Chains A and B, each alone.
Chain A
Amino acid sequence: MNLVLSRVPPDAATHVDLATSSLRELNSALHKLAPDTHETLWKVANPAGRHAIAAGLDAPVTVEIDGPVGYYCGGMNKQAHIIVNGNAGVGVGENMMSGLIHVKGDASQSVGATGNGGLLIVDGNASARCGISMKGIDIVVKGSIGHMSAFMAQAGTLTVLGDAGEALGDSLYEARLFVRGSVASLGADCVEKEMREEHRALLAAKLEAAGILGEVDIGEFRRYGSARTLYHFHVDNVSSY
């Protein structure tokens, strides 16, 4: 194998430079890790916006990527903690199952699309379709999110410290949306709902998981959810389909 692996004390991380190693070499090495691997810290240099970096992982390791990543970084992730020191392209953490993905910069469209579990944090802004069709993942965006976010979102939570773009939560199922800032408009079948104690507790738990409990006032958030009027087809709702 050509993969240039160097284990440099004192952090004992495995270093992979994508300027000299291929994406295939990196992902292949990460996929081969056993559940009890001692190579638990990986540092990836020079990602340069490449796609599918650290996709399909299934091991309790931490992968730190130093720079911007392209599409589908950490796609379908299980267990791993993936940290992006830069911006992320389309579909970061798409369909992730568990573990953590933390984007330190901004993220492009379809953050955590169809994600089933785990926690996905974006320190900056996320663009359109954040949390589209999410199925149980928890997403925390510290900045704002773009249009059509949480479209057809089925389960999980989307927490936004900034603003939400047009048509938030269109055709929403049972995902729970918490937005601190303004919402440009709500999509079909998405309504603001009362923020009861249980919801404040849920939100607090997500903020705590994201390491920002206490940094923001929970009282400033509003909750949005499904009005459930599209759950059973009715001719009077036809314009919403």
Chain B
Amino acid sequence: MNDHSHTPRTKPRYSATFDEYTLSEIRRAAATGIYDIRGAGAKRKVPHFDDLLFLGASMSRYPLEGYRERCGTDILLGTRFAKKPIALKIPVTIAGMSFGSLSANAKEALGRGASAMGTSTTTGDGGMTNEERGHSSMLVYQYLPSRYGMNPDDLKRADAIEIVIGQGAKPGGGGMLLGQKITERVASMRTLPVGIDQRSACRHPDWTGPDDLEIKIEELREITDWEKPIYVKVGAARPYYDTALAVKSGADVVVVDGMQGGTAATQEIFIEHVGIPTLAAVRQAVKALQDLGMHRKVQLIVSGGIRNGADVAKALALGADAVAIGTAALVALGDNDPHYQAEYEALGTSAGAYDDWHEGRDPAGITTQDPALMARLDPVAAGRRLANYLAVLTLEAQTIARACGKSHVHNLEPEDLVALTIEAAAMANVPLAGTSWIPGSNGNF
């Protein structure tokens, strides 16, 4: 007989393919029969602005003196056709987030913070509230497939109109807002029964494609007497073509939202597997504008995973005119704050990982319609936090721009950047650091 008592045992080995998250998701699917719906954007690691570095000035170029020598950050949006373009003091705006997915206090805080810094906020799927209009000095009104709450009075009191074709989290998809958040006020704004799971369409009800979009844009301009800038927002998938077609359809501003861009509620599988990273989208969109001779004439706003002033500066250097933030703005308000760790754990998650924004149980009072939870968010204090954060983003971007010798952040160029990885170099179309090699570059996409 063999004695096995001294035979070494192998350690339990977990599969890289069937990792812990995957196993839990299979069990969840088997138990419920429904795909996982969540908020936020892609959580997997994708090539990002972190993989780029700036080439600061030294001998061949001269830096500007921080805090003393001017480095402009202002930006004019909608200069192509609109009689009343909007002037932002900083190149960072707040992306569209609906009243309904967010609490009224959260919307108010966004308005307060953005207005304090001289930038705009954006409505979302669900119409415009008086609070939001009142607290935002510049408000962009989204025009979405569902047209919830859409009406001509709000259209006329908006500062700009954003026609939403897609979102980075789900290019090609609609949405679903679960019943917990369809309170009486949300339901009445959307003309829906209280408490039902609201489905959102993926295409607009009265036009499809750029040739018909051109006619829709003409109608919106006629209704608003050609005053308002008209943005067209697309989820990043084929940004070269989509940007070119938005321009041909008559847009004043194109918004390109990368796959890290957030959402209120969509299938997890959609968020993680459809669309391309923000980094990969910027240069394609810029190339389309350049090829049409419209770069800087039609402005480009980039969003999806913007977190700090370096991200802002890098997006601008690659050719964007401004960036939009969503998730980062919510975090600045207080979303996923460790202060509420015990409550996040009670929901089966953790501060920093909470993404069940559609369930309406946000301990931080932001992605909820529950009056008690909502009351936790002080819109004045949260607005102040957002203003502080926007100020830091701007200061950081200026710091980098000055170091590169720029008296305006818009003078940052792709040539100020190098990449740390081959992937980022190929996607951003800038050289690998320390080389002159731009992988895959033939100037085309």
Contacts and interface: CB of A to CB of B under 8 A. Distances in A.
Interface of A: 23-24, 27-28, 31, 51-52, 55-56, 58, 70-72, 75-76, 78, 90-91, 94-95, 97, 109-110, 113-114, 116, 129, 132-133, 135-136, 151-152, 154-155, 171, 173-174, 230-233, 235, 238, 241
Main secondary structure of the interface of B (DSSP, over half): loop
A227 to B, nearest CB: 13
In the A-B complex, list the 6 residue pairs whose CB atoms are closest, starting with the nearest. Answer: A235-B33, A56-B223, A91-B206, A114-B147, A76-B152, A110-B206
17 contacts: A27-B222, A27-B225, A52-B215, A52-B219, A55-B219, A55-B222, A94-B205, A97-B152, A113-B147, A114-B205, A173-B193, A231-B179, A231-B197, A232-B179, A232-B196, A235-B34, A238-B34
A233 B197 contact: yes
Contacts of B226: 24
Interface size class of B (residues with CB under 8 A): 20 to 34
Contact of B151 (A76, A151, A232): A76
Contacts of B152: 56, 58, 76, 78, 95, 97
A56 B215 contact: no
Contacts of A174: 193
B163 to A, nearest CB: 13
B215 to A, nearest CB: 5
A136 B155 contact: no
A48 to B, nearest CB: 15
Contact of B150 (A114, A129, A231): A114
A72 B219 CA distance: 7
B394 to A, nearest CB: 37
B212 interface: yes
Given A72-B206, A78-B152, A232-B196, A154 B191 contact: yes
A116 B191 contact: yes
Given A97-B151, A133-B201, A233-B34, A71 B146 contact: no
Contacts of A235: 32-34
B170 to A, nearest CB: 15
Contact of A110 (B178, B201, B205): B205
B423 interface: no
B62 interface: no
A133 B205 contact: yes
Given A90-B207, A235-B32, 8 more contacts: A24-B222, A52-B223, A72-B216, A95-B147, A114-B147, A152-B205, A155-B191, A232-B196
